[in-house]
């Protein structure tokens, strides 16, 4: 018994050190993207690469294998508590995945992606894809090396998908997206043919940046983002980063001629952050104190941004506050005016500005391009042109420059191929979770109308947040909703919402 306890304590201490490295790296990454001076960014990228390499080395060290082998012995494993069992499961997965990758290769890749993110930011500012192209070519080359090392079943892209959403494959997503695209286009056509136009002029007036930020902070505080455990900053591309449940930071992007950009990007990132702020405290330092998957993470951000943030109940409560913050801009507006305005359906160039209905088409475009880049069916040099073609095919519009085209997202500069599909999976999960929430708490919308959001956060914490990585995505969805993944809730939600907004009766 004593040996077992000593082994557990040694393993916990070892993993805690890995978690500390990860947290330190997260702080540096946040600073790199929000406040590091230009001349310090390259050296900062080197330090980030070093810490990530130390984490990587620890994950595949002989000590890790020895501890896992001991803890996995039947007589030992049976006595482990649930947290320890999950730690063993996750670290075994990490060990098996990483043990075959040379540490030098991993370090090269980490440094590359850190530098690529800086290069992307500069290339986007000047709308110069050629400046970013060599970085993306190298990233794809490294990813294909990793795929060859890890192996794959079916499509090469499946290995990358599994990193973000375990168990999901191209073979599953292709028909799912095909059906979603068909139904989305059908509803879009009905709206364009018969829908009652929304008045969006109120959203495009001059909104001072400082006042927008104050209003966003007010909204975030009300919906449950804890500013004692986080902060709001600005960055080129909005993101959230969790150091631990007591420090989960978010960024936003402000445009003075668009009230929606800062508000909804703030709510979106706060959705991610509320998730991580409510993970069970006992999971801190275990590497389980993070989201179960990117799809589950996106379910939380999209739930708050769209299902709550764009609801009539939400605006019934926040309209007086918005009118007080922006009295001149919103003079003459009403709850219904803003509700319809923020739910306008209009194909757009920018993914993060897209409406709920066309958003998934943006995801499908990126998903198709990613698959082609990984297989070599599309060369990086041809990416801007391919992007333009698909935008025309999917949405009927084309970008005028690279900044609003292939350079608009930060994801590829970080090597995050396989991430984009999780946004649409998140939409599917969010609608399914909302249906379960409504069954258990049928008056939750009335609570939102009163500005009371606690019951929602408590429900999500009970069913989703607190588990961290203790449960896998499919387990969370089945446990919370009583059934497996079901996209019908999303299509029904979109149909019902836009029938109301556009009066398609």
Q: What is the pLDDT of residue 146?
A: 95
Give the span between the Cα atoms of 174 and 499, in whole angstroms: 27
Pairing type for strands 232-234 and 240-244 reads unpaired
pLDDT at 1 over 80: no
Model pTM score: 0.89
Q: Which two tokens stand for residue 55?
A: 């984490």
* More confident site: 34 or 283: 283
Residues annotated in a binding site: 268, 272, 298
Pick the CATH number of 170-501 from 1.10.1370.30, 3.40.50.720, 3.40.50.11810, 1.10.3470.10: 1.10.1370.30
Q: What is the pLDDT of residue 463?
A: 98
Whole-number Cα distances in Å, 414 to 60, 143, 418, 456: 22, 11, 12, 33
- Mean pLDDT of all residues belonging to the chain: 94
Mean pLDDT computed over 200-214: 96
Among the listed residues 78, 138, 148, the one whose alpha carbon sits nearest the alpha carbon of residue 109: 138
pLDDT tens-place string over residues 311-322: 999 999 999 999
Q: What is the pLDDT of residue 441?
A: 98
> Within the chain, how many helices (H) and strands (E) appear?
21, 3
CB–CB of 306/283 below 8 Å?
no
From the candidates 94, 165, 269, 290, give the one annotated as an active-site residue: 269
Q: Which two tokens stand for residue 27?
A: 């702080």
Give the span between the Cα atoms of 446 and 464, in whole angstroms: 22
The string of DSSP letters for 305-321 reads IIIITTSHHHHHHHHHH
Q: What are residue 464's phi and psi, to 5 degrees? A: -130, -60
Give the span between the Cα atoms of 503 and 190, in whole angstroms: 11
Least confident of 10-24, 65-79, 172-186, 385-399: 172-186
Task: Find all residues with CB under 8 Å of 268, minimum gap 6, and list them.
Answer: 238, 301, 302, 304, 305, 352
Task: Report helix, strand or coil for 327.
Answer: coil
Q: What band does 351 get if pLDDT is binned at 50, 70 and 90?
A: very high
Q: What is the pLDDT of residue 168?
A: 85
Give the span between the Cα atoms of 49 and 180, in whole angstroms: 39
pLDDT tens-place string over residues 69-104: 999 999 999 999 999 999 999 999 989 988 888 888
Spans of all domains in the chain: 2-151, 170-501
Q: Active-site residue 356, yes or no?
A: no
Q: What is the pLDDT of residue 148?
A: 95
Residues annotated in a binding site for Zn(2+): 268, 272, 298
Least confident of 175-179, 219-223, 284-288: 175-179
pLDDT at 241 over 60: yes
Q: What band does 328 get if pLDDT is binned at 50, 70 and 90?
A: very high
Q: What is the pLDDT of residue 2?
A: 54
pLDDT tens-place string over residues 426-446: 999 999 999 999 999 999 999
Q: What are residue 437's phi and psi, to 5 degrees? A: -60, -45
CATH 1.20.58 fits domain 2-151? yes
Mean pLDDT computed over 57-76: 95
């Amino acid at each position: 018994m004593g040996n077992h306890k000593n082994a557990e304590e040694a393993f916990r201490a070892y993993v805690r050190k890995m978690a500390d490295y990860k947290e330190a790296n997260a702080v540096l990454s946040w600073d790199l993207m929000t406040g590091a001076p230009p001349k310090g960014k390259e050296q900062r990228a080197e330090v980030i690469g070093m810490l990530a390499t130390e984490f990587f080395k620890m994950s595949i060290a002989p000590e890790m294998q020895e501890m896992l082998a001991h803890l996995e012995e039947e007589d030992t494993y049976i006595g482990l508590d649930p947290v320890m069992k999950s730690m063993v499961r996750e670290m075994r997965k990490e060990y098996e995945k990483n043990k075959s990758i040379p540490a030098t290769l991993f370090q090269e890749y980490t440094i590359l992606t850190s530098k690529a993110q800086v290069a992307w930011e500069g290339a986007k500012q000047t709308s110069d894809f050629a400046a970013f192209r060599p970085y993306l070519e190298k990233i794809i080359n490294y990813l294909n090396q990793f795929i060859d090392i890890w192996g794959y079943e079916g499509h090469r892209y499946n290995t990358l998908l599994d990193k973000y959403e375990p168990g999901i494959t191209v073979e599953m997503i292709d028909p799912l997206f095909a059906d979603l695209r068909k139904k989305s286009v059908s509803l879009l056509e009905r709206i364009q043919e018969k829908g009652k136009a929304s008045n969006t002029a109120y959203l495009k007036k001059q909104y001072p940046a400082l006042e927008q930020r104050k209003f966003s902070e007010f909204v975030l505080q009300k919906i449950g983002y804890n500013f004692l455990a986080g902060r709001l900053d600005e960055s080129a591309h909005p993101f959230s980063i969790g150091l631990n449940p007591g420090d989960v930071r978010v960024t936003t992007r402000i445009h003075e001629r668009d009230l929606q950009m800062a508000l909804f990007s703030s709510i979106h990132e706060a959705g991610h952050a509320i998730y991580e702020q409510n993970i069970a405290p006992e999971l801190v330092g275990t590497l389980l104190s993070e989201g179960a998957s990117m799809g589950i993470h996106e379910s939380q951000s999209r739930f708050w941004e769209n299902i709550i943030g764009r609801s009539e109940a939400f605006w019934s409560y926040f309209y007086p506050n918005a009118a007080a913050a922006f009295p001149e801009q919103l003079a003459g507006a009403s709850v219904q005016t803003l509700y319809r305005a923020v739910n306008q359906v209009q194909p757009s160039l920018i993914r993060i500005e897209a409406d709920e209905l066309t958003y998934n088409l943006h995801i499908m475009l990126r998903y198709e391009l990613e698959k082609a880049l990984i297989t070599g069916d599309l060369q990086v040099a041809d990416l801007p042109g391919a992007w333009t073609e698909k935008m025309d095919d999917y949405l009927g519009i084309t970008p005028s420059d690279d900044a609003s085209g292939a350079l608009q997202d930060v994801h590829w500069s970080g090597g995050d191929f396989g991430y984009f599909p999780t946004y649409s999976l998140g939409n599917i999960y969010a609608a399914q979770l909302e249906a379960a929430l409504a069954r258990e708490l049928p008056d939750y919308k009335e609570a939102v109308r009163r500005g009371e959001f606690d019951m929602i956060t408590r429900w999500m914490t009970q069913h989703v947040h607190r588990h961290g990585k203790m449960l896998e995505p499919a387990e969370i969805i089945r446990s919370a909703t009583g059934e497996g993944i079901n996209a019908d809730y999303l299509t029904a939600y979109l149909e019902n919402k836009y029938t109301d907004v556009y009066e398609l009766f």
